[in-house]
Amino acid sequence: MDERVASVLAEAADAEPYEPRYELASEELRSLYRTEAQTTRRGEARPGLWMAVAIYVLFSATDLLLIPDVAAYTITARFAVGLTALLILETQLRHGVGTEWLDITCAGAIIFGYVGWLSPAVMGADKESVSYYMVFGTIFMMSANLFFTFRFKVSIITSTIILCILYVVNYFVPSTLTYKLVFGTFYISCFTFTSYVNWKLNEERYNVFLNALEAKIQHNEATERGKALLRLSRTDPLTGLENRRAIDEKLRDYWSDWQRVGTSFGAILIDVDFFKKFNDCYGHQEGDRCLIHVANALSEMIKQYHGSIGRYGGEEFIVLARVERKEQIMDLAEAICSTVENLALTHELRRDGVSIVTVSVGAAFTRTQTGAKLEKIIHEADRALYLAKAGGRNCARLFDPTDPQSSDESENIAALLKIAIGQNLVSLVYQPIQDVKSDRVEAVEALMRLRMLDGTSVPPSLFIPVAERTGAILELGRWAIRTVCAELLADDHVRVVSVNVSPIQLKTPGFATSVATILGETGVAGSRLAFEITEGLEMEMHSDILRCISDLKLLGIKIWLDDFGTGFAGLSWLRLIDFDTVKIDRSFLHDCSAPNGKAMLQDIITLVRNRGHKILVEGVETDEQMALMREFGIDKVQGFHVGRPAPAASFQAKRTLRKRPFTVLKSA
């Protein structure tokens, strides 16, 4: 119902309680009622007439009892009128004539049924029986007013015709004056009563219609409010996309279709690169606008692939799309990267060589239905997203079960890392670091090793990323620092040990405090430790990281920059942090066989030396390379030419010094 009808209904509802409501209602509302009443009358016409004809014919029994001499004629008339009326009605229904014509047919059946029966009945020999038998004419009057749901006007006309016929017959039938007065009064009383009841019934039908209409409007409004609330509960308020609840339901539908009929699909996780930096630089309002722009662009693009997109939380989005081949889901993932990149939203604080907003994308495709679980495809997409971030961001990665970094093997390693320390599956080896001028081993680098329960070694390139992804690196890092102090530093077997530290550890609250606790418990001075921080995209200039590095330097711990030259952030870190030593990546040394490579290494050395840092070059493996390091005036070197990684026992045997007392000073 439209708003005009609703307003008219409200006016009718405000009427006085005892006034007829239809008098106050507008013609528009009346017209609506008539339209609905026509539908009702049309549905009731066929069963009503069939039932009336059946009763009409059954009254043939009274003809046989009261007017037997003309019963044959009256019964014939009953059947003729009844069958004719039914035939006409069925023909009209078949041809779909209007409801008004159906009403006229039923009303005509009442009138002609009465006349058809009455005409032969008055010819009966027993005039007294005939005169009393005429009282049954009121039944036809009541049928017009009460049995059929005619419009009030049709009912009045029909019952008035029957009343007139009754009076005409009553006048001509031989009877006393008293009889005529009594039955005449009965006829008019019956007409008045049934007409009044019919009027009240029509009024009540109209009131019922109004109440039903009001209830329907309220129901529709409640339904719309419910739908609106449901949409609200399934919609992300910022971007207008589906929220996690809605997308999870859709994921279950996709998964169910795949399990039942094999309709394959892909899941894609999207993460806005360096979004925290964007918020820090431009503010949260601009951050919200950024997410809205990204959401709108992706939503339009996903429509072309008939997929669904939702906000999965924070700066993360998820896309679901039905595809037949994994190549299609990869094309979609790359299209997502391109779509966001083409927005060209400025992001100047990234420090990775890119100055616009980009996204990292991880995709997964349904592979095998056997033993598969709903959460698996999202987990696989998440692992692919992690690899996309680790691979430099602004790229898409498809989950590959054969890739050690993303396969189920990494999950086995994640489980192994949880028990590695308790089961003594993790250990440390140490690679010497030599001073070029003195040719003495001045320090060693602690390198972590992991073996499986059957003794098989797991490469660091495989388990370290898993440890960082799962957070196991935090416990492993504390264990490594404690072990280094206990195995080599507490008894002065070596002067300095360097330990690789993950950005995840530096960002963790309380990391510097935990290191101070370990130093105090083992009696080792902080100056005996060096923490190597790897230059890379994961090493963001986060305020928590800078604060943690400052706290570590207060403990006396040396901070080294590892793998310098392999990332984009190295120069910024050299400017912000006073590193004790900068380790130049081995790739630059190995490129020195070419003149350009040698020149590049010289340029890097000059740059670092001008900043006042000590220089350590990795990967020295030959006498020629060692000679080149002396030529360039390098401070320290590391590589197979100096020494391979070895267990702590190798260094304990080489250097046994008198242990100097160490006192932990407590602040006043």
List the one residue out of 120, 96, 92, 108 whose CA is nearest residue 52. Answer: 108
Residues 6+ apart with CB under 8 A from 620: 589, 626, 629, 637, 638, 639, 640, 641, 642
Extract the tokens encoding 359: 């996204």
Extract the tokens encoding 44: 């009731």
Residues 6+ apart with CB under 8 A from 637: 433, 434, 436, 616, 617, 618, 620, 626, 629
Give CA–CA dist 265/254, Å, rounded.
7
Q: Count Cα neighbours of 62 within 13 Å in the Cβ-side half-sphere.
A: 15
Is residue 260 exposed (0-12), middle (13-18) or buried (19+ Cβ within 10 Å)? exposed
Distances, alpha carbon 221 to alpha carbons 1, 7, 20, 225, 391, in Å = 11, 14, 27, 6, 53
DSSP structure string for 155-199: HHHHHHHHHHHHHHHHHHS---HHHHHHHHHHHHHHHHHHHHHHH
Residues 396 and 331 sit within 8 Å (Cβ to Cβ): no
Q: Which residues pair with 363 in a beta bridge?
A: 268, 398
Amino acid identity, residue 327?
Answer: E
Give CA–CA dist 297/317, Å, rounded.
12
Give CA–CA dist 580/443, Å, rounded.
13
Give CA–CA dist 132/130, Å, rounded.
5
DSSP alpha helix (H) spans, 502-566: 503-507, 511-522, 543-554
Beta strand 426-435 with 558-564: parallel, antiparallel or unpaired? unpaired
Measure CA 329 to chain center. 19
Dmax over CA atoms of the chain, in Å, equals 154
Q: Given phi > 0 = left and psi -120 to 50 = alpha, else beta, which region is 346?
A: beta
List the one residue out of 427, 444, 449 whose CA is nearest residue 642. Answer: 444
Residues 360 and 388 sit within 8 Å (Cβ to Cβ): yes
Residues 619 and 590 sit within 8 Å (Cβ to Cβ): yes
Active-site residues: which are they?
315
DSSP structure string for 555-597: TT-EEEEEEETSSSSHHHHHHHS--SEEEEPHHHHHGGGSHHH
